[in-house]
Structure 1
Amino acid sequence: MKLYRPRRGRVFAGVCLAVANRFNVSPTLVRVLTVLSCILPGPQIIIYIVLWVLIPGDKG
């Protein structure tokens, strides 16, 4: 399955939903793990923004 940000079902930019769809896991799980990872020090926010720019949006 191709990695893309769907128009429907996304909360902010669709990055977590795109990752969840790509790896066939729950979008809620990916969102919770993303929020929890932001508690730890590191470049999580920057990585999220980079993925937002790099992952193409759904054309539909």
Structure 2
Amino acid sequence: MEQKKLYRSKKNRMICGVCGGIGEYFNIDATLIRLALVLLACTGSGILAYFVAAVIIPDNPEE
């Protein structure tokens, strides 16, 4: 069985594709991930976490 890998989405992106990629990885709607990120952004750490993830998570090479 092939292991799933986390990639930033090229199809389902708003800014960098992080939420779309996480949604594809966990097979849930990316809108729910975006809403959770907005709640985290209110604390200040969500914005930093998003941009760190955008740097660390690679683009999907298959799209």
TM-score band, normalised by shorter chain: 0.7 to 0.9
Counterpart mapping for 1:2-21 below 5 A: 2-21=5-24
SS in 1 for 2:60: coil
**Deviation for aligned residue 1:44:** 1.4
Deviation above 4 Å: which 4+ runs of structure 1?
none
Determine what percentage of the aligned residue pairs are the same residue: 37
Q: Which runs of 5+ in 1 are unaligned?
A: none
Q: What's the TM-score, normalizing by structure 1? A: 0.84
Is this contact kept in 1: 2:12–2:20, CA < 8 A? Answer: yes
Question: Counterparts of 1:14 and 1:42 in 2: how far apart (Å)?
Answer: 20
Counterpart mapping for 1:1-60 below 5 A: 1-39=4-42, 41-59=43-61, 60=63
Which gives a bigger RCO, structure 1 or 2 (Cα 8 Å, sep 6+)? 1
Q: What's the TM-score, normalizing by structure 2? A: 0.81
Q: Which runs of 5+ in 2 are unaligned?
A: none
